[in-house]
């Protein structure tokens, strides 16, 4: 089977969050299941020079956008045994950063069309195009409509929703001006969403299969609280909706051989983890102490991540004997809140307002606990990395957090973290305080939980098997239909 991943991020080329982790690591695992799997991405200007230098030009074609034709160069690179294709168009992609420009809708409509047009250049004709998030959610519509009478009409599509909050909603003019479609497509069974165009919704309607990144989230999003105004559409199409839990790549996230951390360690050499704490404290001007728990946050600073809860009880949290480390970027209001705290607790808090992969690993390695009191969490990669590095996650019981963290309080023997249920600042505070108390009171018990967390199978193995099974269903169903 030939599978083409179409996405806007893949580690190590582009990563702004969990999407980059998933698209960078799932193909490697799927390849072990004998799938011919390739990945297509935009060739962003910010991709590191060391990768760009190795890319090879394959050819070019053009993409029709309304009355215009836009250049579409295709370059390729093999990395980790996976073939990557990069769509080259400097007008759209040669800009600093990846998102947030005025023409986001046009840019990703261009990219979706480029994914199909690129097939004539690469010669790779996939059985399934696996689309990720709203950036590529237009593809199922394109295959079933714009390209319905072409050789691409039999390609099956799977749409994975990594975060339902981001839907690609644009003014309705985009239909005519960029997609070249008439108003008949502006209806609720296609693109229409509160008088605007919603690309993710069109993907959910037209995809042959929808998946999301944890079983719990796939249930939650069918209710209004989590459904981001699309719960009705999800209920209608729930016969083709599945939840498959994300994994992490244990070659990338492995404290035993991670070259970015200060001292390597594993479950059998757990005593070496402490060196990471001591060096981190020293380098960052925190009082050194083996026994002071480092509690950290590595996160986008947005409402989703429960920063409001942290804000609500931060002064109570800081009464405990802990050191708080924050690595993240996001809304101005949250960044300011953390910056102000440094003035108030100069010996207890360190804040890094940037995106820094290496630093994130050093923080995980130095930490004893990682906070994720998310309002909602499709899967969450952060808590999995934290567990792999022996930092126990303190999480709200929602989405993928619920599916990956086992309560130490409810399962004394097997526990891997601490959970609270309601989105309530004091429930969060009390849970964190109980964890801190356990840390101080019972070192042996804590160590057992840390080992549980580190020894868990958080790899892609199980999930890759499930994805393969779903691809098979899509392709076989089609073969059956043709036979009839
Ligand atoms: P989301 O995709 O919603 O942002 P996830 O928990 O699924 O959240 O994935 C976040 C990923 O991004 C993790 O790999 C985490 O370590 C990483 N990350 C988040 N913020 C930063 C940052 N400021 N610097 C480095 N890595 C970060």
Task: Calculate how far, in angstroms, residue 400's C-alpha sits from the geometric centre of ligand 1.
Answer: 14
Closest residue by CA, ligand 1 atom 16: 382
**Best of 25, 250, 300, 376 for a ligand 1 pocket test (most atoms within 8 Å of beta carbon):** 300
What gap in Å lies between CA 16 and CA 484, rounded to an integer?
Answer: 46
What gap in Å lies between CA 307 and CA 431, rounded to an integer?
Answer: 16
**Is 337 within 8 Å of 311 (Cβ atoms)?**
yes
CA dihedral sign of residues 417, 395, 24, 332? negative
Nearest to 389 by CA among 219, 237, 254: 254
Nearest to 383 by CA among 375, 396, 469: 396
Nearest to 188 by CA among 146, 231, 233: 233
pLDDT in tens, the chain (484 residues): 999 999 999 999 999 999 999 999 999 999 999 899 999 999 999 999 999 999 999 999 999 999 999 999 999 999 999 999 999 999 999 999 999 999 999 999 999 999 999 999 999 999 999 999 999 999 999 999 999 889 999 999 999 999 999 999 999 999 999 999 999 999 999 999 999 999 999 999 999 999 999 999 999 999 999 999 999 999 999 999 999 999 999 889 999 999 999 999 999 999 999 999 999 999 999 999 999 999 999 999 999 999 999 999 999 999 999 999 999 999 999 999 999 999 999 999 999 999 999 999 999 999 999 999 999 999 999 999 999 999 999 999 999 999 999 999 999 999 999 999 999 999 999 999 999 999 999 999 999 999 999 999 999 999 999 999 999 999 987 666 666 6
Nearest to 449 by CA among 381, 386, 398: 386
What gap in Å lies between CA 197 and CA 277, rounded to an integer?
Answer: 49
Task: Calculate how far, in angstroms, residue 299's C-alpha sits from the geometric centre of ligand 1.
Answer: 5
Residue written as tokens 């963290």? 405
Which residues have a Cβ under 8 Å from the Cβ of 443 and sit 6 or more positions away? none
pLDDT at 307: 97
Cβ atoms within 10 Å of 184's Cβ, excluding its own: 8
Answer whether 297 contacts ligand 1 (Cβ < 6 A): no
Task: Calculate how far, in angstroms, residue 306's C-alpha sits from the geometric centre of ligand 1.
Answer: 14
pTM attached to this predicted model: 0.95
Answer whether 161 contacts ligand 1 (Cβ < 6 A): no
Task: Calculate how far, in angstroms, residue 300's C-alpha sits from the geometric centre of ligand 1.
Answer: 7
């Amino acid at each position: 089977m030939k599978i083409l991943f179409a996405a806007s991020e893949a580690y190590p080329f582009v990563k702004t969050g969990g999407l980059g982790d998933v698209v960078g690591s799932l193909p490697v695992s799927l390849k072990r299941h004998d799938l011919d799997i390739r990945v297509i991405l935009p060739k962003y200007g910010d991709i590191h020079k060391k990768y760009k230098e190795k890319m090879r030009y394959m050819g070019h074609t053009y993409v029709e956008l309304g009355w215009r034709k836009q250049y579409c160069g295709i370059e390729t690179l093999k990395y980790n045994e996976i073939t990557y294709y990069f769509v080259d168009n400097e007008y759209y992609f040669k800009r600093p950063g990846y998102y947030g420009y005025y023409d986001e809708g046009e840019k990703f409509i261009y990219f979706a069309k480029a994914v199909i047009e690129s097939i004539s250049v690469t010669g790779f004709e996939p059985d399934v195009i696996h689309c990720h998030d709203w950036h590529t959610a237009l593809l199922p519509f394109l295959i079933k409509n714009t390209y319905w009478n072409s050789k691409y009409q039999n390609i099956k599509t799977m749409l994975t929703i990594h975060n339902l909050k981001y839907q690609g909603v644009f003014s309705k003019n985009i239909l005519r001006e960029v997609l070249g479609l008439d108003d008949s497509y502006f209806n609720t069974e296609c693109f229409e969403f509160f008088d605007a165009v919603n690309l993710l919704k069109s993907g959910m309607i037209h995809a042959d299969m929808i998946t999301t990144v944890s079983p719990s989230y796939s249930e939650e999003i069918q209710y209004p609280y989590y459904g981001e105004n699309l719960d009705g559409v999800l209920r209608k199409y729930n016969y083709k909706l599945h939840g498959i839990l994300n994994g992490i790549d244990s070659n990338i996230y492995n404290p035993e051989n991670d070259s970015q951390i200060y001292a390597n360690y594993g479950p059998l050499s757990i005593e070496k983890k402490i060196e990471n704490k001591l060096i981190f404290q020293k380098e960052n001007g925190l009082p050194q102490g083996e026994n002071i728990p480092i509690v950290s946050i590595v996160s986008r600073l947005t409402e989703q991540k429960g920063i409001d809860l942290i804000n609500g009880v931060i002064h109570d949290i800081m009464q405990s004997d802990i050191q708080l480390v924050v690595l993240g970027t996001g809304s101005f209001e949250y960044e300011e809140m953390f910056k102000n705290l440094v003035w108030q607790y100069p010996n207890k808090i360190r804040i890094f307002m940037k995106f820094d992969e290496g630093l994130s690993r050093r923080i995980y390695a130095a930490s004893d606990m990682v906070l994720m009191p998310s309002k909602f969490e499709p899967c969450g990669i952060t808590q999995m990395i934290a567990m792999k590095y022996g930092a126990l996650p303190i999480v709200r019981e929602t989405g993928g957090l619920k599916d990956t963290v086992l309560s130490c309080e409810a399962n004394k023997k097997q526990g891997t973290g601490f959970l609270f249920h309601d989105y309530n600042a004091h429930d969060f505070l009390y849970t964190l305080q109980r964890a801190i108390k356990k840390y101080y009171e019972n070192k042996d018990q804590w160590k057992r939980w840390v080992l549980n967390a580190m020894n868990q199978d958080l790899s892609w193995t199980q999930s890759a098997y499930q994805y393969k099974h779903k691809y098979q269903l899509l392709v076989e169903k089609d073969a059956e239909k043709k036979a009839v």
